[in-house]
Structure 1
């Protein structure tokens, strides 16, 4: 275990954030290699790191500390992220599809235009998070709490699961909830729903209704019961 302190020290070295849409720098690639080398041996700490464009697909990052980390445009597809701390992190344009983020902390994080298709986001804390324009197709968002100030504006959430989620005062303007399941969700109002759209397959709590999406949308994706 002698190599662990050195590896952790290497991860703690910070470099300035890169410009938007930048390719991963040699420094980022070196940092990722260090993470991969110890991912099953320690809880990773890379707060305020620059990991823009990094390839972390399929990696084990459970409980990692990535507060205020720059992950813009990163490929994190299929990674294990349960309990990860991404407070105030920049995940704009990142690929988080099919990740397991159950119990993660995303308070104040930016996920604008991120791909979260079929991601597991149940019981995530996301107060103040910005998902504007994100792809949440088929995502599992059961039991959401601590969502005050969260924006789902313009998201595509076709077939997403929001069962038992608390959604009071969440911005859903322009969101597509075709085929989404809001069974026993709380806090939603018709005023909120009037700014979004759905279809005949959208499941809402009693007394709520949602305008239909414009004609021409694809057949909605049904929620995956196994998620």
Structure 2
């Protein structure tokens, strides 16, 4: 029995290795790295910061595949938006967006080939400032318990949303080995787990601005993804 189990293990390993090699030979390539976006805010009581780690998975498809995207690079982000509590009960959120584009632009801009930059990011460990033109969309909820109160935040005028003396000092992006952040958004926005909000008819009754913002707080909402489309 032990010999049979060993043989099966060897066969499984061989099949796995052949499958990976075949996958690469056909033109499929994949890369993955973790990154932390951190918001640093100056307040009347001092400087505060907060951020979340997400996983970015990028990949290419071979040119021989049918369709417009053949031969190009796509990506998906796994995780949740970065946020910081600016004052008690008042939060600044940096919504998820095209994380691949932002990261490739900030790191290794001297490398022209997108695939080469993605491969380099898997081993790079570095922190850089996010330039103003690459800032994520920033929002807040005037009432943290009410998803209808979402409001865009001007990164150049946080005082308009949070009061005098509040300034966005900088946003940084770090390529890291840390694990993906889980549960932070849900702990702050308890209604994310409320079917009365996240499922119809509650979801469809929310303003489109609220639905768009909520859809970019987490990389996936399994129970309501179809409702947002």
State the TM-score, normalizing by the size of structure 1: 0.23
Q: Which has the higher contact order (CA 8 A, sep 6+)?
A: 2
State the TM-score, normalizing by the size of structure 2: 0.23
